[in-house]
Structures are given as C-alpha cells and as structure tokens.
Structure 1
Amino acid sequence: VEEIQDALRTQIEGQRAGIVIEGNRRTPIVLRGTEAVRTSPAEFGAMRITTQHGSTVPLTSVAKLERAEGPVKIDREMGSRYSVVIANVGGRDLVGFVEEAKALVTQKLPLPTGYRITWGGQFENQQRAAARLTVVVPVALGLIFVLLFSTFGSVRQALLILSNIPFALVGGIVALWLTGEYLSVPASVGFIALLGIAVLNGVVLVSYFNQLQSEGMKLSEVVVQGAKRRLRPVLMTAAITAFGLIPLLFATGPGSEIQRPLAIVVIGGLITATALTLMLLPILYLRFAFPKREVSHV
C-alpha cells in the first residue's frame, strides 16, 4: 500500500528530485505524471506501479478505481478531523444566542462516542475577554482606591469618590437598553473608561471641598459653594468627552459595531455621573466625609 501511495503522490502531486542552478537562478526539478494521467480515468488506471519485487503492473491490477464525491480538503486540529459551521448573529446578543443553541444541540443532536462540539469564533473571543475583565476590573478599582487614599489620607473620602462609579454605571446600562445594544466586549471597555471619568469628577469636587474647609468655611456652606463653583469645570469635562465620542456614536463604516457600543456606554454614563455627582456627592460629603465628632466641631 505504501508503494502505491508514493507512486500516486508522485504522479499527481509531483516529487522534488533536485535543483538546477543557472547563475543566480535556482530552478527546482519536479517529477510528475503527464496531464493525461491526471485527467483521463483510462490513462490513470493504466499507470504502471512498481511492486516490492521490482516488477511493474498497471494500477487497475492492484486497486479498484471508481468515481466518487469527496471533500476538497480535510481539516485537522490536534490530530483530529473537524468541520466548521458558521453563523452570523443579528438582532440579539451573542451570548444568549449561543446558550440557546447549546441547549438545542444537546437536546436534539446526541453525539456519538468520540465526537465533540466546540463553540468558537467571536463568542470564544468574548468569553476570553470577559475572563480577563473579571481580573482587570478589581485590580483597577484597588489601584484607584490606593491612589485616592494616598492623595486624601482618608478612607472615608476615598470611598466617597468611588461612590461615583455606580452613578456612571447606571447611565451606561440605561443607554445600552434604550439603544438596543448588548453587553459586549467594546461595551465592557466603555464601562472601564467610565471608572476613570467618574473618579475624576469626584476628585474635582472633594479636593475643592477640602480646600474650602481648610479656609475656615462651615461644612454646610462648603458643599453648597463648592458644588456651585465646580459646576462649570465638571460640566465642561463631561461635555468635551461626550462631543469627542459623537463621531463614534454615529459611525456606519467598517468597525462601527465595535465603536458604537463603547461610545453609547461612555456618553450615557457621563450624563448620569455628572448629574448625580453634582447632586448627591455634596450630600454624601456632608454626611460621611468626617466622623461625627469632627462634623460637630466644624
């Protein structure tokens, strides 16, 4: 069988026999059967095969030839054959579609022994990204808290600034729901960007509150005057960021499916984070920024 396979491979695919060198030009020498052998069934069957005893016999004397349809190529992964089924998901979230497809396949397509199904493509990439985010987000929050604590020297004030993060998340989630988008990897990246923006607004307010208090102003006046005076900087920061993302929000070309969810999340989060920061953070600062003894003393 091995001799037959080698002969057929030489006749059909060709076998490299050497190289001809002409100056700087190198031309490979390939042994291959004639065009008639590769296209004519009769010529192919009459092809002479050398046996292990050294004699030559026609291919039809050692093999039965018949025409049959077969795969153009056979794909393998880790030594096993595999076949790919491709589907494009539209009008719904990718994860929900895959979970529903898994349930239907398990119910209606029992697999024989030795067979398995792997869900890959964009779904696999999204699952990998989600797994990374479960590590990256807590680490980012921890680093932000450490930086805030080292800056303000107060656990209470660091936690107050971090309380802005839920304000931003609310807007991002509502924006996704209103636009019909789904929580994808780009949307998750948008939520991570919101962490920094929300913290920035809190730092602007709390640092100014502390400055006013150090000047001897009463705490009740600090939150009122501080919120009024920092209104314009906070609004300008949010507006500039939102305007910069508008081209991504209305993008329609290649890559827009990645740009749009990110822009939607950030713009929606900016709206709620800015509004709630200006309204609720002064109240929280008045109530929780200092221990009760210090508040009564102030």
Structure 2
Amino acid sequence: GLAFAQGKVTLYKTEIDQYWVIIELDKKYQNYPDNLHHVYLRSKTTGKLVPLSSLIEWSQGVGPQDVPHYNQLNSATLSFNLKQGVALGTATDALEKAALDILPSGANGVFQGEAQEFKSALASMAGLLAIAIFLMYVVLGILYESYIHPLTILTTLPVAAFGGLATLLLFRSELSLYAYIGIFMLLGIVSKNGIIMVDFAKQNLEEGGGKVTSFDAIYNACIVRFRPILMTGASTIMGAMPIALGYGADGASRRPLGLIVVGGLMFAQVV
C-alpha cells in the first residue's frame, strides 16, 4: 500500500508545529506497471519477503473511476424524460419490457423518483377501489336502513365500469393512475343516479299506502327522473370531453380519465 499510495508512518513534532511523515514511491515509478515486479511483501509465517507477482496477476485496462451501489449491489442509474404526448405509465411499461430483453439474468432494476411514486400509487388503487365500494354500501345501508337498497344502487356500477374500460380498450389507452381516478369519479356519478331513482321509488311506495307495487314504483321513478338524469349525464359528458380528447399540456396523461368518464356514462345512460 505504501508503494503506490500515500501512507502516514509517524508524526514529527517541533516546538511550534507538528508534521506527518508520509512515505510513497517516487511519482516517476508509479506510472509503470512493470515496477510491480519489484514490490515485495513480508510473509507472516516465515518472515521472508515474497514478490507480489507470486501472489497476484494484473493486467492493464480501462475501468470506472467509481462503482455506485444500491442495496450493497453494483448499480447504474439511467434517467429519462417523457416525449410530448407520451404518458408516464406507457414509458414505465416500455422500460420494463426493454429491461427484460436487454438485461442479463440476475440483473434487475427499480424505478426511483416520480416513476416509483407512480408505480406505488397504481399498485394500491385496486385495494382502494374495493374499500370505496364497501364504504358506499355501508353509508347507503345506514341512510336507507336496509341491506337490499344499497345493493340495488350498486348494481349500476358494473355496467358503468364495463363501459369505461371498454372505451379504454377501444382507444388503446392504458389503465393508468388517471384512469383509476376516472373510475372513482364514475362510481360517484352513476351511484348518484341510482340514489335518485331508488329514493323516488321509495317515496312512491310510502305515498301509495300499499296500493303501489315495487315494480310500478321504480318504473314511475324511471319515467319521472329520466330527464334530470339524462341532462346531468349529458352535461358531465360534455365537461369531460376535452379531457377525453387529450387537449392541453400533458393531455395524453389525463386522457384515460376523460375516456373512463365519457365512455362509462354513455354506456350507463343507454343501458
């Protein structure tokens, strides 16, 4: 170590100051690898000097100045910027696919920064969606004091969700974080329509005094509330249409949100 690197062997002190004594090989000898043949190490067992060349082999080549690590493993950092019109989810999916084709076996990669936060949020969305539906059922059950009426309202959700997901598939868009946000919005809008009809039908049953059947009550509710539901649905569709068309800065990322809302509402209105 002292031959090709600085080594502090002792501290020289004077009356006014102190100095480290450093031993190293002359610079003119450090630039020639052949000088390693003249380096000797002392054996701990015999006490004799052993040439370094009898213990190791060396070769001259080009290497990195430093080797970065991540979780105690050698690592390399690759940065990327999104092309205009490309969503973050599309970019991460393309990178994961390219990594499978390029990286050798035993090598893997992880996202950092904004991409990591995006992937983490996307992974938790399915669980949050299930919790949201369960909470909707609980709140509606408390509101109507019934186990059946909340299920009646929630039966409209699969139809709207199917329409939204089918629209995504039709336009070859991805199920991104914005798409999940659109699903949450869609569930709230469609369940509101179901609440209006069930509430009106329940009111008809109470006013009928037993003379009105459940079928007549819900049929009358559909007839009376059809126009308000249609108008609110149409206004929501028109409001979400610019998002579905991808207008504005970063419109490609938000487009799945608009497609989910527009497609789900249109399909639910028709059904």
Q: Structures share a fold, TM > 0.5? A: yes
Task: Kindly report which structure 2 residues correspond to 1:1-298, keeping only aligned pairs within 5 A, or say none.
Answer: 1=1, 53-54=21-22, 58-61=26-29, 63-64=30-31, 71=64, 74-85=67-78, 97=94, 100-101=97-98, 104=101, 109-111=104-106, 116-120=107-111, 124-216=116-208, 218-219=212-213, 220-276=215-271
Judge which range, 169-178 or 120-129, deviates more.
120-129
**Mapped partners of 1:124, 1:75: distance in 2:** 20
How far does residue 221 in structure 1 lie from its aligned partner after superposition? 2.9
Change beyond 3 A, Cα 1:260–1:221: same
Judge which range, 243-252 or 201-210, deviates more.
243-252
1:186 aligns to what SS in structure 2?
A: helix
How far does residue 119 in structure 1 lie from its aligned partner after superposition? 3.8
2:249 aligns to what SS in structure 1?
A: coil
Change beyond 3 A, Cα 1:2–1:196: farther
Deviations 1:167-200 (A, max 9, x none): 1111101111221112122112211221111211
What is residue 42 of structure 2 aligned with on the other side?
Answer: none
Give the share of equivalent positions with the same residue, in percent: 23
Aligned residues between the structures: 226
Matched to 1:238, the amino acid is G
Note the residue ranges of structure 1 that are not aligned, 5 or more in a row.
8-50, 277-298
**CA contact 1:175–1:265 (8 Å) conserved in 2:** yes
Matched to 1:117, the amino acid is N
How far does residue 212 in structure 1 lie from its aligned partner after superposition? 1.3
What is residue 28 of structure 1 aligned with on the other side?
Answer: none
Matched to 1:218, the amino acid is V
2:246 aligns to what SS in structure 1?
A: coil
Deviations 1:76-114 (A, max 9, x none): 3334431135677979966865675465458xx334xxx
Note the residue ranges of structure 2 that are not aligned, 5 or more in a row.
8-18, 34-59
Aligned-pair Cα RMSD in Å: 3.6
TM-score, normalisation: structure 2: 0.68
1:230 aligns to what SS in structure 2?
A: helix
**CA contact 2:181–2:257 (8 Å) conserved in 1:** yes
How far does residue 65 in structure 1 lie from its aligned partner after superposition? 6.5
1:84 aligns to what SS in structure 2?
A: coil
Deviations 1:190-225 (A, max 9, x none): 112211112111001100111111110622432232
Deviations 1:117-162 (A, max 9, x none): 1242577545422331132112111110011011111111110101
Change beyond 3 A, Cα 1:55–1:158: closer
**CA contact 1:190–1:265 (8 Å) conserved in 2:** yes
How far does residue 274 in structure 1 lie from its aligned partner after superposition? 2.4
**CA contact 1:3–1:52 (8 Å) conserved in 2:** no
